Amino acid sequence: MVDIYSFCKKKLLWIIFIFFLGGCATVPKKIIWQDATEVAMNSFKLKTGDIIVKNKLWNEPISWGGHCGVMINNFEIGDYPKIGINFYSLPSYDWLMERGRKVVVLRYDKFNDKFKKYFEKNAIEYSKGTYLLTLNKFSTNHFYCSKYVWFLYYKTGQDMGYNLNIDSDGGYMIFPYDFLNSKELHQVLI
């Protein structure tokens, strides 16, 4: 008989191992990290669809892969933050007010009014999932922070009739730092 504790412990260690390896993507030299509180003070400049990537904090293992959220409208950031907490949205100012944290704001060049209409619909529709680190990035039932962001763009592209993949390395899992190297996104200084 399998000891449930040992089984769960092994699975958790594998997930942490995969997460750590995938979350160690290199940061391109052209990226400029901004102070999160300064971006919060200028959050009125953020637009629907903007992706905010937070830096990694090495003293907090949960943040070794970085973190990200997405503007689900012009005022709120949508996020699947961590195990035990499913989707939530916060005013962008509140989400960004984390002293000592650095962020990068990324924007999709082809984000027009038609794209925005589908994007906002999808942001609501896929906010009903549960938090789970999964290797199936096409699943619509389980999300984590960067998978939610990736899936919103992927699904909106599908709705518009084209393939859109903002994941720079095309792996099974999407990590926040994968967006930094995406050819579809550019940095916006706020």
Greatest Cα pair distance in the chain: 58
Domain count of the chain?
A: 1
Q: How high is the pLDDT of residue 184?
A: 95
Q: Looking at residues 122-151, what average pLDDT do you find? A: 93
- Residue 92 in this model has a pLDDT that exceeds 60: yes
- Domain span holding position 99: 4-188
Q: How high is the pLDDT of residue 171?
A: 81
Q: How high is the pLDDT of residue 3?
A: 60
pTM to 2 decimals?
A: 0.83
Token pair listed for 125: 């529709």
Q: How high is the pLDDT of residue 71?
A: 97
Nearest to 190 by CA among 112, 103, 114: 103
Q: Are 186 and 106 in contact (CB under 8 A)?
A: yes
- Higher pLDDT: 108 or 172? It is 108
- Higher pLDDT: 66 or 189? It is 189
* CA pair distance 104, 177, nearest whole angstrom: 10
- Residue 100 in this model has a pLDDT that exceeds 90: no
Q: What's the 3-state SS for the chain?
A: CCCHHHHHHHHHHHHHHHHHHHCCCCCCCCCCCEEHHHHHHCHHHCCCCCEEEECCCCCCHHHCCCEEEEECCCCEEEECCECCECCEEEEHHHHHCCCCCEEEEEEECCCCHHHHHHHHHHHHHHHHCEECCCCCCCCCCEECHHHHHHHHHHHHHHHHCCCCCCCCCCCCCCCHHHHHHCCCEEEECC
Report the chain's mean pLDDT, rounded to a whole number.
Answer: 86
Amino acid at site 189 = L
Q: What is the pLDDT of residues 18-72, one digit of tens each?
A: 444 444 445 555 899 999 999 999 999 999 999 999 998 776 666 667 899 999 9
Q: How high is the pLDDT of residue 119?
A: 98
- Output the domain CATH number for residue 156: 3.90.1720.10
Q: How high is the pLDDT of residue 47?
A: 97
